[in-house]
A and B are shown apart, each in its own frame.
Chain A
């Protein structure tokens, strides 16, 4: 008998279009599945069809689309209730077991069919034209099949059992969808488990399981080895399969085959109450009422609809399930907020908000996708549609009411999340709630996007008139829109919804992002209104469901007021759109990706020949910088002194203006006359032919004026360096000399497409042309520096140098800075509203230099770690001056800048330091490493490794600059705290190394030849320097560094002067060898020159 039911179920589903829609959807999605799941993350050495990649992709896709399983499994029993045939079915001579078993197996078979879409889709994905054979192993269908059976099937079985049982027991479809959320919550919960093994067992989608199972594998093994179905993976699958079986058993016990009877008896009870109280009323006087059909009544109806639908969702327990899940998840998930090197930040509101946004987005999408479907179908599901349709209500008002109702639902979830965020803050002992940040974070950042996508959802649902197909199409739209953005079709004018709001910063708030954001959102909102109007016109009213006929009937349905309203909306849409276009494409330049690529290609092809032509060097910089933070403008005016340090006569000087629309080079002039060659103007590259040839050793003044003018706003992310509060830029924005390598096309594949030669990130260690450069395309070997900066009345401007004078003029603050000794040509310009903490550092002995003024410029309210930083400044100066060489400047400053970038960076005597790292860390000295201290120490070390000694722009450059700074900072950390803290720090570096190595697409380089691999020069560097120091002793290492600094000092090092080139890792290793006992000489090779990976 069960077989009959099984057969019936399958036959029923075979005729349903959704079965094929679902299959096709998974099939098509899976073709790009690997690319989608692994987008943005380097796959390392793994191939696109490595068994591990296949397993992860299958796990992730089946996880993401578990929702399909709920739609297939959930309805299987529910259907009988929906169509009111439960009494027929249940009174037929079938046993409960047969009924449930037949239905379950039938729908599960269909579910399996649908999900084989993943299997076939992924297989086909291998053969797509955009996959390069280099990234593939030989095709092996068996691997796919095996992985599908191993990874996907058990997950599906569990999901199927869960959804089937909830569907049968709750008889409410939305409850079934909500199960999907609960699964997701479980997945999130497993991420919070610190025990890797249990995490691997409990992960329902076995993503962490596969990582755990292959933890000890080498890169090659990960790339080729098949997944073993033993250990954690096996237990994980057994665990979830048994849970599935338990769910089925529970469902079987609980499912009442006599539900109909029960229902009826309840009804009878109520009926008797009702009948008893019934009495004959003959003379009810009907009151005289007015009917209103004007605009006001339409608005009252809109309010009625909105509230009615809002309340109707509020009455669903599934919605509250989602709300509670959302609240719980933050409490579990936000334990590691704004973590930097393992140290959590204070639960500042914007961290909490970001965490909430990230984890809750899935919940909002569920609400959006499913409740929009439910609302569009609400009357029809209740079979009330004909009554509604025959009333004089406006279809538009009804749809708009549903639209508003759903948005109110989002608001409820948001308020709940905010409450849980506040609870979390309170529990953590943090009471600075900043309600406005909560408000902005949800109602400004998230609600508008949700509101816009909700328009789409209603539009699609009204149009297709099939709930599940509508749901799928909405999801397809989501994905398509994301994909469009990824492919670079992201102009705010045609990228649906426009770009997201820039990050919130305590210093700068939403800065200049807010206005364009709101304008662009209102533009899309108007578009959404048009969609809603169209949706209401073609929506089903009455019994005609044929789309073509509905479209034909639009002309009868478009009432005059609605027509006028649509016209108004359309007009506003076009006007606002025009305004946006004027800003983004007329006032500012907009480049598509392909335009930008073409530009880079042309730049390289036409100008590459100038790369190493003899050019003078900048030896003196004297500028007047006027910053206008309110309008985000600046002008920089003054002169460079250029000196011919070559042996050739120089007739023309090549100047590259920064390629950015906002930046204009208003004037350039050279003393003794010149003519301008504008033939490369399109590259902002100008050649000035001097009237008087510049002989070797001669100097010339170059006067210029550059302006940065903010005009309206740009599409997408605009400049985040010049801000209303917290400006930070450096001299790479100013005119520079000669060909600039950073404008070249970088991506190796793209370069191949355009027939450009392969390009290495760093030159070889013996490249004589780069040995004389301290940085890419260097146009200077050191400068004298003087600058006067003007800024707004409330701000303080900081650049390197001694502050000579400071005054106020025309309601503006002016600061005159001058460096008394030469500095490298690398200087920052910073301006913000600052609190200032001042102190002094006295050297322990006079031979170690003179007194240094210590200053920390920080944002009011960010004083948490100022003392730690100050301590670090002193401890660092002590250690470095004692062990390496005296500190060279008279001041050392730290300036906080907005969190649009997350780094600290050393300039001569000044260290701009991002708001997000260090300033707001909640450091617990018991359990955390004092990262505010450490990062400060690292940056100050750069005053030696970077400012005193520079490294040649060849492989191994960052070994000298970064690895040595890591070493120096570690020693200060050890001295101030303890060896244990240092070991704790090294643990985080091991993590970092491992993460970086997993992403590495090429071979890992040795430290001595490192290019731009941060995991090598920061993480591995720290680990290996620690070992080196352990092996030969701290004092020996310091001795070698002392000698290295002395010989290679940029301005007066003996070897630097003699060789006329910069130091390389080879030079440094010479000093290391000199202090290493012969017996253990090999360790220099092992640690720094071999490719030996760190042992973890």
Chain B
């Protein structure tokens, strides 16, 4: 089932334009939503998850009009918010069971089996009777995904799920996500480029409430082929380079600034051609978008 978002806009009462005419088609499979902090990702996710109303535009999943038929959507929705807590004094099993009932799994035996399976799947089975108070960040996120999967959702929204997780936990989390079948549209919002690179078949980059780029990661990378050059420079030279080249990223490599620039032809001057990474795409989009604004 495909999720279609058309011309979605939202302006907060304090004047911030969180969403500006967002249009996206999200097919089944993993969809990466990339953008810097404050780009409007969470607003978009919450709007899709029926937790917030848009000012205009529409969201449709199959034949469900998300903005009007909220409850119909919720029946097929799995949602893991960016930040959430857990009741400290009850166990994972009990709380998962509780959510299962809320999601309509009212047959007791079926529910028991389901909860058991999900606990196994998210590697929480061994600690199922521990109070949630003692859960680490990674366990908490895995519990989060377990509850999101309870109703076998057609649409799964995970908002910045790996923020604050160590690499091992991140991998565990991805293992769970990657197993989701072809029947589910998964929207993964993140500001970490690698997440998208590793998992997603489709992606979009949004910044300042607008979609800057959408497509398949490989195709997008294709567009930057033979255009990204790299050079290690001295700290003092940075501004000079910024004036002369389209610098899309700067980072430290062994303590020295290394810059990537975008150029249709070889600039010489010690620059070397490199294989574009998704990160370069991201930075170039953010860069041009932000520049366009400031101009």
Contact = CB atoms under 8 A, between A and B. Distances in A.
Contact of B79 (A289, A291, A390, A544): A390
Interface in A223-281: 266-267, 270-271, 273-274, 277-281
A286 interface: yes
A270 B130 contact: yes
A394 B71 CA distance: 8
A185 to B, nearest CB: 26
Contact of B121 (A281, A308, A542): A281
B126 interface: yes
Given A289-B107, A543-B51, A387 B99 contact: yes
A662 interface: no
A593 interface: no
Interface string A291-303: 1110011001100
B46 A543 contact: yes
Contacts of B52: 542-544
Interface residues on A, range: 35 or more
A391 B102 contact: yes
B51 A270 contact: no
B77 interface: yes
A392 B117 contact: no
Interface stretch (A378-386, A635-643, A896-904, A1023-1031): A378-386
A804 interface: no
B79 A387 contact: yes
Contacts of A281: 120-121, 123
B127 interface: yes
Interface in A538-556: 541-544, 553, 556
A755 interface: no
B103 interface: yes
Contact of A382 (B87, B130, B136, B139): B87
A290 B105 contact: yes
Contacts of A1080: none
B50 A387 contact: no
Given A301-B101, A388-B102, A390-B77, A289 B114 contact: yes
Interface centre among B52, B70, B107 (most CB of A within 10 A): B70
Nearest to A388: B102
Interface in B99-113: 99, 101-107, 110-111, 113
Given A281-B123, A304-B98, A382-B87, A274 B46 contact: no
Nearest to B112: A287
A595 B256 CA distance: 94
A389 interface: yes
Nearest to B105: A289
B7 interface: no
B50 A390 contact: yes
A675 interface: no
A315 B52 CA distance: 33
B175 interface: yes
Contact of A270 (B50, B75, B134, B147): B134
A392 B136 contact: no
Contacts of A388: 102
A293 B105 contact: no
A293 B104 contact: yes
Contacts of A293: 75, 104
Contacts of A292: 104-107
B68 interface: yes
Given A270-B134, A289-B105, A315-B89, A383 B84 contact: yes
Given A271-B136, A383-B85, A287 B114 contact: yes
A135 interface: no
B215 interface: no
A273 B126 CA distance: 10
A393 interface: yes
Nearest to A394: B71
Main SS class of interface, A: loop
Interface in B115-134: 117-118, 120-121, 123, 126-127, 130, 134
Nearest to B101: A304
Contacts of A267: 134, 136
Contacts of B151: 291, 391-392
Interface string A627-662: 000000000000000000000000000000000000
B101 A300 contact: yes
Contacts of B121: 281, 284, 286
B83 interface: yes
Contacts of A761: none
A557 B101 CA distance: 21
B81 interface: yes
A758 interface: no
Contact of A559 (B71, B83, B88, B123): B71
Contacts of A387: 79-81, 84, 99, 144, 147
B98 A308 contact: yes
Contact of B175 (A277, A280, A382): A280
A312 interface: yes
B75 A392 contact: yes
A279 B99 CA distance: 25
A220 interface: no
Contacts of B127: 273-274, 277
Interface in A167-189: none
A1096 interface: no
Contact of A386 (B68, B84, B102): B84
Given A386-B84, A387-B99, A392 B49 contact: no
A312 B132 CA distance: 14
B105 A392 contact: no
B216 interface: no
Nearest to A268: B136
B152 interface: yes
Nearest to B149: A286
A437 to B, nearest CB: 37
B81 to A, nearest CB: 4
Interface in A599-623: none
A66 to B, nearest CB: 28
A245 to B, nearest CB: 33
A292 B101 CA distance: 9
Nearest to A267: B134
A297 B89 CA distance: 26
A280 B118 CA distance: 13
Given A277-B127, A289-B110, A289-B114, A382 B85 contact: yes
Interface centre among A277, A291, A301 (most CB of B within 10 A): A291
B99 A391 contact: yes
A814 B39 CA distance: 93
Contact of A289 (B46, B111, B130, B175): B111
B103 A291 contact: yes
A292 B107 CA distance: 9
A289 B150 CA distance: 10
A394 B75 CA distance: 11
Interface in A550-573: 553, 556-557, 559
Interface centre among A270, A312, A390, A556 (most CB of B within 10 A): A390
Given A274-B139, A301-B106, A543-B52, A286 B79 contact: no
A273 B144 CA distance: 20
Nearest to A385: B84
Contacts of B227: none
12 contacts: A278-B172, A282-B175, A284-B120, A284-B121, A285-B117, A292-B104, A292-B106, A300-B106, A382-B86, A387-B99, A389-B51, A391-B102
Interface of B: 46, 49-53, 68, 70-71, 74-75, 77, 79-81, 83-90, 98-99, 101-107, 110-111, 113-114, 117-118, 120-121, 123, 126-127, 130, 134-136, 139, 144, 147, 151-152, 172, 175, 179
Interface of A: 266-267, 270-271, 273-274, 277-282, 284-287, 289-293, 296-297, 300-301, 304, 308, 312, 315, 382-384, 386-394, 541-544, 553, 556-557, 559
The 10 closest A-B pairs by CB, nearest first: A542-B51, A383-B85, A270-B134, A291-B104, A392-B74, A277-B126, A390-B79, A386-B81, A393-B102, A271-B136
